[in-house]
Amino acid sequence: MARTVVDPLTRIEGHLRVEVEVTDGKVSDAWVSGTLWRGMELVLKDRHPEDAFWISQRICGVCPISHSHASAQSTEMALGIKIPNNARIIRNLIEAAQYLHSHILWFYTLTALDYVNPINALKANIADTYALAEAAGTHISDFGAVARRLQAFVDNGQLSIFTGHYFDHPGYVLPPELDLIATTHYLEALEMQAVAAEIISVMSGKFPHHMTSIPGGTAFVPTESKLDDILFRFLRVKEFIDTALIPDTLAIAPYILGAASFGGGCGNFLSWGVFEAEGGDPYKRSLPRGFIESAKGLTATKVGPEDVTEYVAHSWYKDADTGLNPSKGKTEPAFDKYSVDGKYSWGKAARLKDLPAEVGPLSRMLVAYVNGVPEVTKIIDYALGALSKAAGTQLPPTVLVSLLGRIAARNLEAAVVADWAVGWVNELVAAIKGGDSDYFVTERGSDGEGAGLWEAPRGSVGHWMSVKNGKIANYQVVAPTTWDIAPRDDKGVLGPMEQALVGTPVVDAERPLEILQVAHSFDP
Closest CA to 72 of 95, 94, 56, 85: 56
Domains of the chain: residue spans and CATH: 82-258+406-434 (1.10.645.10)
Q: Which residues of the chain fall below pLDDT 70?
A: none
Burial of 503 (C-beta count, 10 Å sphere; 0-12/13-18/19+): middle
Q: Cα(first)–Cα(last) distance of the chain, in Å?
A: 27
d(Cα 143, Cα 147) in Å, to the nearest integer? 6
3-state SS record for 44-83: HCCCCCCHHHHHHHHHCCCCHHHHHHHHHHHHHHHHCCCC
Residues 6+ apart with CB under 8 A from 131: none
SS3 state at 124: coil
Q: How far is CA 145 from CA 133, 151, 182, 184, 248, in A?
A: 15, 10, 14, 9, 19
pLDDT at 161: 78
**Residue 470 Ramachandran class (φ > 0 left, ψ -120 to 50 alpha, else beta):** left
User: pLDDT digit string (tens) for 418-473?
Assistant: 999 999 999 999 998 899 899 999 999 999 999 999 999 999 999 999 999 999 99
Q: Buried (b) or exposed (e) across 275-310, using 16+ Cβ within 10 A?
A: bbeeeeebeebbbbbbbbbeeeebebeebebebbbb
- Single-letter amino acid code for the residue at 134: E
Q: What strands lie across the sheet with 16-23, from one edge to the other?
A: 2-6, 16-23, 26-34
Residues 6+ apart with CB under 8 A from 145: none
Q: How far is CA 88 from CA 104, 248, 290, 445, in A?
A: 24, 33, 21, 21
**DSSP secondary structure code for residue 485 in this structure:** T
d(Cα 69, Cα 452) in Å, to the nearest integer? 8
d(Cα 82, Cα 450) in Å, to the nearest integer? 13
Q: Is residue 358 a contact partner of residue 483, using CB atoms and an 8 Å limit?
A: yes
Residues 6+ apart with CB under 8 A from 37: 316, 333, 335, 346
E strands in 393-484: 448-456, 459-468, 471-478
Q: For the chain, what's the residue count? A: 524
Q: Is residue 512 a contact partner of residue 506, using CB atoms and an 8 Å limit?
A: yes
SS3 state at 458: coil
User: pLDDT digit string (tens) for 79-129?
Assistant: 999 999 999 999 999 999 999 999 999 999 999 999 999 999 999 999 999
d(Cα 499, Cα 449) in Å, to the nearest integer? 34
pLDDT at 32: 98
Q: How far is CA 103 from CA 97, 192, 423, 456, in A?
A: 10, 11, 19, 11
Residues 6+ apart with CB under 8 A from 78: 49, 445, 447, 448, 449, 450, 465, 466, 467
Burial of 85 (C-beta count, 10 Å sphere; 0-12/13-18/19+): middle
d(Cα 436, Cα 257) in Å, to the nearest integer? 50
Q: Is residue 486 a contact partner of residue 524, using CB atoms and an 8 Å limit?
A: no
- For 24-49, the DSSP string reads TTEEEEEEEEE-----HHHHHTTS-T
d(Cα 479, Cα 103) in Å, to the nearest integer? 18
d(Cα 510, Cα 508) in Å, to the nearest integer? 5
pLDDT at 156: 87
Flag whether the pTM goes above 0.95.
Answer: yes
**DSSP secondary structure code for residue 264 in this structure:** -
pLDDT at 275: 98
pLDDT at 320: 84
